[in-house]
Structure 1
Amino acid sequence: MVLINVVVYKLKKLNETRLDDDKSNNNNKLKRLSLSTEHSCRQFTFAEMQLATNDFDESMIIGKGGFGKVYKGIIDRVGVTMTVAIKRLDSKSKQGVDEFCTEISMLSKFRHSHLVSLFGYCNEGDEMMVVYEYVSGGNLAERLHKKACKYDQGQPLSWVERLRICIGAARALDYLHTGTGTRHRIIHRDVKSSNILLDDDKAAKLSDFGVSKIGPVDQACTHVSTDVKGSFGYFDPNYFMTRRLTRKSDVYSFGVVLLEVLCGRPAVDPTLGDNELGLVGWAQRSIKEGRLNKIIDPSLMGSCFRVMGQIMPKCLTAFVEICVKCLQGHPNERPTMAEVVVALETALALQHRGELFVVHKEEGVKSGKLLTFSRMLRNMLPVKTPVRSPEPFEKKERPKKWVLSGIHSNRDGKGEDTLKEAKVVDSSLKIFSLDGLKNATRNFSDDNVLGEGAFGKVFKGWVERETYVPSKVGSGIPVAVKKLDPDGLHGLEEWKAEVEFLGKLSHPNLVKLLGYCSQDDDLCLVYEFMPKGSLDDYILKQGLVKTLSWSMRVKVMVGIAKAIAFLHSTENQIIFRDLKTSNILLDQV
């Protein structure tokens, strides 16, 4: 009995030590999280969350998941009242600090119109909550599978709407896989229809990054070894068997979502027999046996244009081909998400082309009639303000990047606007003092001038690495400080436009705006420093600087193309309007 008591005592002490270690590790993770997100998202108090949700009233619940309950809430953001979604960790949940930190750290760094936006989080006592933008249109699973859907008076999604949703979600995954940096790539690891949210315009918003994983860039040679996480029915079989996670695991899961969109049934349906229980196996057998018309969602078979209902035959062929490729057993045989985006856009184009000509049969005579072009006109890009947002810039190995040099206008700078109107709502940008910038740039010394343009002069300055607090010259990290010239071509409107919009999108090929200054009669913008100058220095000043090799020039062009594609794919449909070699900055050559 004494021996048993000793063993129990020792085990109890070991368990207490383990719990203390776990608690210490969790606290350290949360402290690092707070430091890393200081400039990019807001930390709410528990009292603010109670007020926003009417003390977590049951009537405010809009969803439930593995993390816990999701509440609809109202918060005040820089004087503006807005609706948000608040995900509250359930103490009984299998998810915990790791998933909480992962989701916040991911979403605080990355911005894309097809990723759900993070506003902030709450970490107080045992309470952990994540605050997102409120996406009012439910999720794709609800819209596809619930018979009594509360959206659009229960009307099912049309085929074109489904295609556009798929394209949006595919663009988000492609951004995670290729557009978030140069050293790492993000693997979502839980791609499914219920994690694809829809806004009022039925635009897709990918959500739930709690189990996401950071993987290496060169996945042709490497993988991430990890325990299998995700959702049953969407697992990549290769990942399940080998525990080797790659970006192609997301591609497989997305292939399952594509089948859901086509067939209108969930990935797993326990009400069906063994042969039809799993969507993938059932659909693959039907496709192989030539029974494609048997698996199409019955709601798509009405409004008949051709034999396949709403779906044009060539579009259907292209879409099924994408599904088949995504669901290949070996990861190397699957396409990349960039290739999936192109294939889906091609399918949508085939759908529109087929709809333009509808064959009418009247008294035995067939005639083709051209439909309205308004559908195509709706997709033309409006002229909007270029925007970009925070992304850590201390990384040494980054792609070639291009800088947005502001918006040109016909204003002469002599209007009624005053500096008192320079109010900014973007809390992710640091507000610099004029004295601080003077200290960082040697009082805007001409010796520190990097360049001069329509806005004014650009000075080299120095700030602390973590806090961006201005420091003495040579201490910390360098930054580029653009100071408005009162007599320049650009004025208050251009300054306000850059400050208000930059910080909403993030891409490694867009230069990061760190903050701004609006004090006395001075307006300044503070950017990350690009040490190698602009592309035109290397193209137009040959002999004075190092010549760029052909392979390096191609890499620069790839980076520029990625940045432009990113801007064109956002919900703002941004046109840059001033693309030239002097606006392409290099961080290495």
Structure 2
Amino acid sequence: MKLEHLKIPLGDIKLATNNFSDRYIIAVRDNYTLYRAELEHFDKENSDTMNKGGHSKRYDTVVIKRIHSEHDMCREEFLTEIKMLIIVKNRNILTLLGFCDECSEMILVTDNVSNGYLGKYLENMDAMRILTWEKRLKICIDVAHVLNYLHYEMEEQKVIIHCDISSHKIGLDENWRAKIADFGVSVLLPPNQKDEALYHSVTNGSMRHADPVYKMTGRLKRESDVYSFGTLLLELLCGKKACVPVYCNYCKESRNNLVHVATKCFFMGTLEEMIDPILKEETHENNFILNRGPNKDSLHTFITIANQCVAETQEQRPTMKVVVKELQKALLFQENNKDNPLISLEDIKLATQNFHVDNCIGRGGFGKVYKGNLQDGDGVRTIVAKRLDTRFGQGEQEFLTELQILLEYKHENIIGLVGYCDEKDEKVIVYEYAPKGSLDKLLNNTSLTWMKRLNICIEVASALDFLHAGLGKQAKVVHRDIKTANILLNNDWKAKLADFGLSVISPINQESDYIINSACGTPGYLDPLYKKSGFLTIESDIYSFGVVLFEIFCGRSTFEIWKHEGHYLARFIKNRFDEGKKDEVVFKQIREQIMPKSLTTFQEIAYQCLHYEREKRPTTKKVLAQLTKAWVFQVSITKATSVPLNELI
């Protein structure tokens, strides 16, 4: 393994820290000291750009980890951490920027965590006030994602057990995103280890967080990390470290063991008493109201999964995949409980006549869709309920993804969420009702004039631009299933983009602009480059939208084209354009309505969307601008004719 580009001279590090001056120290641990300083290091982001020295460099604020050389296992842990940080590729793991191995010094240089380490907050009640319940949940989810990645999602089926998860190993960047550190005692499982235990000498990790089974027997499994993570969950719930004495009025017990007391309280139903006082406001004895803290459903979900994580035996503990799902559910409950209350299963059954077959108006990949009349105050509201089919154990992640997007990404051209249900193994999302139904059934409807079609295109482009830009959010959304069947229409022909079950939420500042993912979507709309490579980008949505634009323009679906031509619409359009017959594809019932400049502008931008090379596809902003331009050209016809505008629209 070539590491020369990562070597940093000891002299540079001493100069940056003024010879390891105390004023640069940000934390002192048993085995190492952490410093924050400005230092030149290897530029990983621009690693392809070479300078005279052979590698691109940059000057930045970094964290310098100076390992105490008198520590017995220091060298082995130093080398292990370098190895692990080179293997792992995850945005929630600290990036190795360089190291120094000179004159008995062992130093690691990683990216900066400007908000410090989680452990310092748990040691300071005033500092903990910054960590609202929602922030704590997001930190937990970040860490859970990392552990799930280490356990199940690494390249070449590698598996790493961290072996030292604790609050002091979790850095917080400027956006409060968690970044995991300290892989010195981590273990890379042998190939094909699968779920068998590895008997391994107990490490020098955080003993308060260590799996008791592992401590007693040396039996190391993925579930050992799950236990440590469960301890962290309880620390964030209670606002104190695992080693601090805790007392429970109900248990009448005080011990230096948070897990022991919390577990006992859980089975007695009194764990709420131990919630961090910062998150609640006392009202009178044995009662409290939660202000910045968890609502009931969020709290219950969080406490339940935390207790499962610290189960006595390894076999009783959940996988990190399950933990991630439950924490995401807790966050959804917390973020949106007030605006989008849970709807009881009883009310949904009443609205849909117990999901009667006569009320079924559609079927998707993960369940059926029902129309219903939901009691809403003194009146009745027409709604649509999508019921997840849980018989095959699939679709839960899609349910959570769609719910998260509908709760967080609100836009006038995205279908509105009425509420949701998650009880008795039933998962249902309730939406606003769009009376005119889906656009795919109206493509050849003559009442859908050219102006109406342009308006629909502009509205969908506006929704896509909102999702792709992540406006006001830290993450963008790739819809991944743009098609006319997922565009719903109100009575006034207003478009609503729907069906976010396959969507992917991706951080705006993610290093790469693509997501490696198995190709999902609908044939005829699916980006061929995504299908071939598995690399998903926002341009994949642009391709699908290009197909939609031409369906609206032609008055025919991509499936109808395939049925008559033997290939989908994108190939059909390309062939017609190559033959110089691009004007012949327009829906004949609207052909006479379209002004030439409007026609040309629309055709050009729609055709660009279908380009095979992603780099040559337009952005949603450009698509929106050109569609608006086509609309303006069309409106101008009223100035040259006596045709009233309302007849065109």
Residues in 2 aligned to 1:43 and 1:280: alpha-carbon distance in whole angstroms: 42
Question: Which of 61, 67, 81 is 2:25 aligned to?
Answer: 61
Residues in 2 aligned to 1:401 and 1:279: alpha-carbon distance in whole angstroms: 51
Question: Which of 75, 81, 91 is 2:69 aligned to?
Answer: 91
Question: Which of 108, 120, 130 is 1:156 aligned to?
Answer: 130
Q: What letter is aligned with 2:236?
A: V
Residues in 2 aligned to 1:401 and 1:54: alpha-carbon distance in whole angstroms: 53
SS of the residue 1:122 aligns to: strand
- Deviation at 1:89? 1.8
Maintained 8 Å contact 1:123/1:129: yes
- Deviation at 1:51? 1.8
Maintained 8 Å contact 2:305/2:323: yes
Relative contact order, CA 8 A, sep 6+: which one is greater?
Answer: 1
The correspondence of residues 331-410 of structure 1 with structure 2, limited to 5 A, is: 331-356=314-339, 375-377=408-410, 378=473, 381=476, 386-387=513-514, 402=533, 404=535
Residue 294 (structure 1) aligns with = 273
Residue 129 (structure 1) aligns with = 107
Residue 199 (structure 1) aligns with = 173
- Deviation at 1:352? 2.3
Residues in 1 aligned to 2:515 and 2:319: alpha-carbon distance in whole angstroms: 25
Question: Which of 259, 270, 273 is 2:234 aligned to?
Answer: 259
Residues in 1 aligned to 2:122 and 2:142: alpha-carbon distance in whole angstroms: 17
1:54-88 per-position Cα deviation (integer Å, ceiling 9, x unaligned): 22111111111233211112122445320001111
Question: Which of 61, 85, 103 is 1:107 aligned to?
Answer: 85
Residue 122 (structure 2) aligns with = 144
Q: What letter is aligned with 2:306?
A: C
Which moves more between the two structures, 334-343 or 262-271?
262-271
Q: What letter is aligned with 1:347?
A: A
Equivalent pairs: percent with the same residue? 33
Maintained 8 Å contact 1:177/1:186: yes
Question: Which of 160, 172, 184 is 2:146 aligned to?
Answer: 172
| Structure 1: gaps of 5 or more residues | 1-34, 360-365, 368-372, 390-399, 410-487, 495-589
Maintained 8 Å contact 1:88/1:130: yes
Alpha-carbon RMSD: 3.4
Residues in 2 aligned to 1:103 and 1:220: alpha-carbon distance in whole angstroms: 23
Q: What letter is aligned with 2:513?
A: P
Residues in 2 aligned to 1:207 and 1:401: alpha-carbon distance in whole angstroms: 36
In our comparison, the structure showing a higher alpha carbon Rg is 2
Residues in 1 aligned to 2:242 and 2:538: alpha-carbon distance in whole angstroms: 47
Maintained 8 Å contact 1:66/1:95: no
Residues in 2 aligned to 1:105 and 1:316: alpha-carbon distance in whole angstroms: 38
Maintained 8 Å contact 1:215/1:246: no
Q: Does 1:233 align with 2:208?
A: yes
Q: What letter is aligned with 1:312?
A: N
Distance 1:293 1:205, change over 3 A: same
- Deviation at 1:302? 3.8
Distance 1:405 1:298, change over 3 A: closer
Residues in 1 aligned to 2:268 and 2:40: alpha-carbon distance in whole angstroms: 57
Distance 1:74 1:200, change over 3 A: same
Q: What letter is aligned with 1:142?
A: K
Distance 1:379 1:134, change over 3 A: closer
SS of the residue 2:66 aligns to: strand
Distance 1:184 1:142, change over 3 A: same
Residues in 2 aligned to 1:281 and 1:271: alpha-carbon distance in whole angstroms: 10
- Deviation at 1:93? 2.4
Distance 1:186 1:50, change over 3 A: same
Q: What letter is aligned with 2:325?
A: V
Q: What letter is aligned with 1:65?
A: R
1:503-556 per-position Cα deviation (integer Å, ceiling 9, x unaligned): xxxxxxxxxxxxxxxxxxxxxxxxxxxxxxxxxxxxxxxxxxxxxxxxxxxxxx
Maintained 8 Å contact 1:188/1:209: yes
Q: What letter is aligned with 2:3?
A: T
Residues in 1 aligned to 2:538 and 2:332: alpha-carbon distance in whole angstroms: 32
Distance 1:407 1:327, change over 3 A: closer
Q: Does 1:319 align with 2:285?
A: no
Residue 23 (structure 1) aligns with = none
Q: Does 1:116 align with 2:80?
A: no
Question: Which of 5, 30, 37 is 2:3 aligned to?
Answer: 37
SS of the residue 2:146 aligns to: helix
The correspondence of residues 275-286 of structure 1 with structure 2, limited to 5 A, is: 275-286=254-265
Residues in 1 aligned to 2:159 and 2:262: alpha-carbon distance in whole angstroms: 31
Distance 1:303 1:338, change over 3 A: farther
- Deviation at 1:99? 0.3
- The number of residues matched between the two structures is 355
Residues in 2 aligned to 1:286 and 1:339: alpha-carbon distance in whole angstroms: 23
Maintained 8 Å contact 1:53/1:73: yes
1:248-289 per-position Cα deviation (integer Å, ceiling 9, x unaligned): 000000000000111111111158797332000111111111
Residue 222 (structure 1) aligns with = 196
